[in-house]
Structure 1
Amino acid sequence: MVETAERKRSIEVEVLAVLLVALVILRDRISGVIGGERLQTWTTVFVSVLVQAVPFLVFGVLLSAVIAVFVPRSFWAKALPRHPALAVPAASVAGVVLPGCECGAVPIAGSLIRRGVTPAAALAFLLAAPAINPIVLTATAVAFPDDPEMVLARGLASLAVAMVMGWLWLRLGRTEWIKLPHRPDLDGASKGRAFWSACRHDVVHAGGFLVVGAAAAATINVIVPEAWLQTLAAQPVLSVLALAVLAVLLSICSEADAFVAASLSQFSLTSRLVFLVVGPMVDLKLISMQAGVFGRRFTARFAPATFVLAIVAATGAGLVLL
């Protein structure tokens, strides 16, 4: 059973890799062959998002796998302050040192709890690591070369959400809401095999959602009438809520979401900042993973609270810094 799943996942990775490479190499021919101005525009936007995002995605997946496999699970229990209230900001800032994508952060957070780290600190790391790590912030700088303040705003807003949610858990959370994770493909395997298994897992998940996100961004730019987008973008409250909901629905990997956000140029920087802060913390794939790993009762409380707080923090950072 395990070998069959492993073989299937390997095939999925190979198909995805071939598709991405083919799109990059043949992007000019594809644009020329496809007839129709709108279809060519869709192809151009779709391929452009992938071309810019794939290097960051690959590097992020490799780094996340290294952290998941080679960093001892007992490291955090020894490195973090013993006082829970102090461990929360320490674990949040640690996302800069030991980053990971959303898919990798969920099992890592569970492993931290299993090794004795207070749940509040582990959950703060869960939210911060995919949002404030150097790969994501560098990708944001590349995607917004004319707006360097977007990097600072994203980092500060995401860090604030992670810490506040950790402290809220200390105050209101209950241990019985959490179920600890189990990754049979990593547990008990050799480090080399576990490393490649983690890479394949994250590439399939993150790469697949990147393709969906790029396609959705291209579709929005082509299908939705420009007048509608301008009307929506002109309404500050509606534009913020629209991109927050869009971030949840698209479920794009944090290493690539900045390029999708940059393509939504009709919207204000604040609205797009909300998209970037909400996405790595609350989206459909994360809600599903958290429900399976930590339990439905946990997710039913944690995800909505994070969603609201992320909108508030990102909007506030946008009004002040952008």
Structure 2
Amino acid sequence: MSIVSDTETEPGRPTRRFRISSVEVLCAILLIAILAQGWLQQVFDVPALRTGSTVFVAVCVQALPFLVLGVLISGAIAAFVPARVLEKVLPRRAGAAVGVAGLAGVALPGCECASVPVARRLMGQGVAPAAALTFLLAAPAVNPVVLVATAVAFPGKPEMVLARFAGSLATAMVMGWLWARWGKLEWITARALRRLPDVAGGQRWRVFAETARTDLVEAGGFLVLGALISSALNVLVPAKWFGVLGTQLVLGVVVMAVLAVVLALCSEADAFVAASLTALPLLPKLVFLVVGPAIDVKLFALQAGTFGRSFAVRFAPVTFVVAVACALGAGFLVGVA
């Protein structure tokens, strides 16, 4: 959303248009926060608010570098990596293509928001929907940025990184194979299967900048929201409640799986939010990290808008069940407890 202001110019000259976008609004808010720092310190001079603000700042500061790196890579993929590159390396057989597409998510990372249009572009260029959907689920979950962020968020616990990688990759590939076996093209809207043109050479840097900026603003908003909720949970929810979730493993898994859907965090930042819930054991946190990039409320909306509601109402619930099962399987195999 932007505010446009027109100014008078000399006759025959084009009208100048000044746009205030979400980036300028965000910068203005940050500037006001800096100038009003003294007043804010007085407002937050309450133990509970100080604790909440500390958790909020810690989550944002730790996650922001990985978020920025992720959106830069996402913008580079959108601008400089044509979808036909993946089309050439994918086998013709759908089952084999699913495996290659899942591993391609490691080499070609992107956030959840960026993976949906990439998957649509793949379908529009003739890639099997099973492979495109596998890439859609794998790219935001098993890429190096997410894995490094997870390692930083959980220092000294490499089993969390390995379990997240295994659970997320298994989720993507199982969903691809399920689609190859039972999926139907009539569930996907015709516009999603329509062939899309590649980015022209002269427009690539512009596409890169616009994609990175849009993803940063959107994903940054979800990061701030997640950090606020995380800080609120640490302050408002009694520690004994999380202690109950720690002793009731099944309840903890269910609650964290639902929270992953509702919070709709960016995959580059969700590990820091999960790590901030110190009273919970690792297994529910692992379920949170596997389910979130696979399906949440914003992804459901994006999938419904891109591929159609008929697709989303079938794909999303199955993805949720598969993600929870794969997270639990990976957790038990790796030894996450």
On whether the aligned pair clears a TM of 0.5, the verdict is: yes
State how far apart, in whole Å, the 2-side matches of 1:96 and 1:245 are: 26
State how far apart, in whole Å, the 2-side matches of 1:274 and 1:14 are: 36
Residue identity (%): 54
- Aligned residue identity for 1:250: L
Asked whether 1:191 is paired with 2:201, we answer no
Asked whether 1:169 is paired with 2:191, we answer no
1:244 aligned partner: 257
Residue 191 of structure 1: how far off its partner (Å): 1.2
**Cα deviation per residue 1:14-63 (whole Å; 9 max; x = unaligned)?**
33356568879999995675121000000000010000000000010010
Is 1:282–1:306's contact at 8 Å kept on the other side of the alignment?
Answer: yes
Is 2:75–2:208's contact at 8 Å kept on the other side of the alignment?
Answer: yes
Structure 1 residues 253 and 116, CA, compared in 2 at 3 Å: closer, same or farther?
same
Structure 1 residues 157 and 226, CA, compared in 2 at 3 Å: closer, same or farther?
same
1:16 aligned partner: 26
Structure 2 unaligned spans of 5+: 5-16
1:235 aligned partner: 248
1:124 aligned partner: 134
State how far apart, in whole Å, the 1-side matches of 2:113 and 2:140 are: 9
1:58-207 → structure 2 map (5 Å cutoff): 58-179=68-189, 180-181=191-192, 190-207=203-220
Residue 2 of structure 1: how far off its partner (Å): 10
State how far apart, in whole Å, the 2-side matches of 1:3 and 1:22 are: 19
Structure 1 residues 20 and 113, CA, compared in 2 at 3 Å: closer, same or farther?
farther
**Cα deviation per residue 1:120-173 (whole Å; 9 max; x = unaligned)?**
000000000000000000000000002111000000010001000000001110
Q: Which moved more, 1:26-35 or 1:91-100?
A: 26-35
- Aligned residue identity for 1:211: V
Structure 1 residues 28 and 98, CA, compared in 2 at 3 Å: closer, same or farther?
farther
1:57 aligned partner: 67
Structure with the greater alpha carbon radius of gyration: 2
**Matched residue SS, 2:293:** coil
Residue 293 of structure 1: how far off its partner (Å): 0.1
Q: CA RMSD in A?
A: 2.7
1:273 aligned partner: 286
**Matched residue SS, 1:117:** coil
2:277 aligned partner: 264
**Matched residue SS, 2:222:** helix
Structure 1 unaligned spans of 5+: none
Q: TM-score, normalised by structure 2?
A: 0.88
Residue number among 256, 277, 287 corresponding to 2:300 in the alignment: 287
Structure 1: 4+ residue segments shifted above 6 A? 1-4, 7-10, 20-29, 186-189
State how far apart, in whole Å, the 2-side matches of 1:257 and 1:16 are: 21
Residue 193 of structure 1: how far off its partner (Å): 1.6
Asked whether 1:306 is paired with 2:316, we answer no
Structure 1 residues 24 and 147, CA, compared in 2 at 3 Å: closer, same or farther?
farther
- Aligned residue identity for 1:81: P
State how far apart, in whole Å, the 1-side matches of 2:29 and 2:82 are: 35
Q: TM-score, normalised by structure 1?
A: 0.92
